[in-house]
Amino acid sequence: AQSVTQPDIHITVSEGASLELRCNYSYGATPYLFWYVQSPGQGLQLLLKYFSGDTLVQGIKGFEAEFKRSQSSFNLRKPSVHWSDAAEYFCGFNTNAGKSTFGDGTTLTVKP
């Protein structure tokens, strides 16, 4: 079955600390993976995406993600978190049918 798992429902980090949000997927082929961010009261915005090539991809706002085929993972990282990064983060993938499958999201809280 096609699915996305974000194991951490809620993560709290201190401002300036590093961040890693986990994402695992189940898909029959190489997926087109993405991370979206949803700020409070807003719609979703694309952070970054991966389909092929370099397994470490850079996104907006200083985020990066690494694709690891052997682990079926696509974890999101940021070296130093800012208070404005507090939001909900969604991992997912696209299918050939033009649809997307999203994980349940991880809520990030940033402590001052």
DSSP 26-39: E-SS--EEEEEEE-
Identify which range of 13-21, 66-74, 79-87, 89-97 contacts another protein by CB under 8 A.
89-97
What's the one-letter identity of residue 99?
K
Query: Would you count residue 27 as binding another protein (CB under 8 A)?
Result: no
Identify the residue among 12, 18, 26, 42 touching another protein (CB under 8 A): 42
Query: Among residues 35 and 81, whose Cβ is nearest to another protein?
Result: 35
Measured distance between the N- and C-terminal CA atoms of the chain, rounded to whole angstroms: 41
Q: Tokens standing for 82?
A: 């800012």
Query: Among residues 20 and 104, whose Cβ is nearest to another protein?
Result: 104
